[in-house]
Structure 1
Amino acid sequence: MLKEWRHRRAVQRVKPGDGRPLKRFRWWQMLTRALFHLRLMNDDGRPTVYAVDVKHQNASEGYVKAHLYLDGRHHAESKVPAVFPVLGGTVEVRTSGFGLRRCHYVTAEGAEHQLVPDPASAEGRRARLDRSHPALSRCVGFLSVIVLVIGLVLLILQLAEQVTRAPEGVAQYVGTFTSPIDLSAWANTVVGLATVAASTERALRLRYSRLLDGAAG
């Protein structure tokens, strides 16, 4: 029931578009913009092309907006998480601190299909690597998970040490814990940058784990 309520709220947030044309994706926008496409067929056999345009720089204002284009024209917009009614279903858009975590077409029957990233976007380039070099792509994805697991373990160890050493902590009940791994400030910075890079790589594939990527954020 909660999921249905959130879905209805997201649909109610959708505002009509102004009809402006969709701008081409430029290479310098790879870190600030995501662009995905969806091609559907009308009952009469004519194609209908949707595009979802998300500019991540809005996050500095406390929100991110998703824009829906229909056949190259601005059709609707909404703050994320967004749910856009489209032909035969809805397009659902969700973001994380590292990019998109969801951009899917959900049919009226409940089937889900991820939208196709624009070839010029960072997501499109990552998808091309997956098609052209699947073995390398799997290695990169596996490495991202390993980095996030290591970062999570280090975070847990540091938090446990801080909690048990607090003046009014839990040391009186469970004793003092000392982390077996003592990283310098420089090493902590490197680990932090590595976890951000790993979560960003996963976001390019619309992969998200609340435990791994959420901890990195």
Structure 2
Amino acid sequence: MIKEWRRRRAVQRVKPGDGRPLKCFRWWQLPFRALFHLRLTSDGGRHTVYAVDVRHWQNHSSDSLKAHLYREGRLHAMSTLPAAFPVPGGTVEVRMSAFGVKRCHYVTDNGPQYQLVPDPHSAEGRRARLERERPALSRAIGLLSLCVLVAALAVLIPHVAEQLTKSEGIAQRTGTFTSPIDLPRWGDIALGFAAVAASTERALRLRYSWLLDGGAG
């Protein structure tokens, strides 16, 4: 019920495009542009190519960050994020996290959903190519990212508990808690950078967990 209500609200934010052409992906856009493609086939066998273009990290304000939907290379529609673009047979949903795209899927009217294909020149496309060509290395990198985030969470939770129990009102009821993990300042900084890198790597694979990646943000 709530998910459907959010989708309807997102659809209402969609505005028509002006037909401008889709610009090619340039290497220097790797840190702040995501580009995904979707090829749909009608009942008559006609193919239509859609593209979702998101310029993230340029301005992360929720009021200005937009997704653009292109049809056959021309701007068809645009929306602030999270976005839900109606297309034949379903909806293209786009959502962002603090580290990149966390969802870019074609959700069909009858239930199944499919992730859009990242442009091969984009950071997401290059990460997908590594997964295809070097699956063992890809899994190792993914596992390392997961371990870093779990370690960061293991440090964060006791630290938050310690800060909360320093409050006089809470301390009188529960007593104080001292975190068993006490990293030096440089260790906290290094772990923070590692967690950001790990969440960014997961975002390139459109992996997101509110507990792990949300905590890193």
Q: TM-score, normalised by structure 2?
A: 0.96
Number of residue pairs matched by the alignment: 216
What amino acid is aligned across from residue 54 of structure 2 in structure 1?
Answer: V
Aligned to 2:52: 52
Question: Distance in 1 between the 2:59 and 2:71 partners?
Answer: 22
CA drift at 1:63 = 4.0
Check the 8 A contact 1:58/1:65 in 2, yes or no: no
| Percent of matched pairs sharing the same residue | 69
| Unaligned 5+ runs, structure 1 | none
What amino acid is aligned across from residue 75 of structure 1 in structure 2?
Answer: H
What amino acid is aligned across from residue 38 of structure 1 in structure 2?
Answer: L
Aligned to 2:7: 7
Structural RMSD (CA): 1.1
Check the 8 A contact 2:63/2:80 in 1, yes or no: no
What amino acid is aligned across from residue 211 of structure 1 in structure 2?
Answer: L
Secondary structure of the residue that 1:58 maps to in structure 2?
A: coil
Question: Distance in 1 between the 2:81 and 2:62 partners?
Answer: 13
User: Is 1:196 matched up with 2:196?
Assistant: yes
Aligned to 2:205: 205
Secondary structure of the residue that 2:162 maps to in structure 1?
A: helix
Aligned to 2:144: 143
Instruction: Tell me the alpha carbon deviations over residues 112-167 of structure 1, each in whole angstroms, 9 at most, x when there is no partner.
Output: 0000000000000000000001111111111111100110111111111111123x
Stretches of 4+ moved more than 3 A in 1? 60-63
Measured at CA, do residues 71 and 27 of structure 1 come closer, stay the same or move farther in structure 2, by a change above 3 Å? Answer: same
CA drift at 1:46 = 1.9
Aligned to 1:163: 164
Question: Distance in 2 between the 1:5 and 1:163 partners?
Answer: 36
CA drift at 1:182 = 1.1
Aligned to 2:112: 111
Check the 8 A contact 1:119/1:125 in 2, yes or no: yes
Check the 8 A contact 1:163/1:169 in 2, yes or no: no
Measured at CA, do residues 55 and 205 of structure 1 come closer, stay the same or move farther in structure 2, by a change above 3 Å? Answer: same
Check the 8 A contact 2:50/2:72 in 1, yes or no: yes
Instruction: Tell me the alpha carbon deviations over residues 78-116 of structure 1, each in whole angstroms, 9 at most, x when there is no partner.
Output: 011100011211100011000011000011111100000
CA drift at 1:44 = 2.3
Check the 8 A contact 1:10/1:81 in 2, yes or no: yes
CA drift at 1:60 = 4.3
Question: Distance in 2 between the 1:105 and 1:117 partners?
Answer: 13
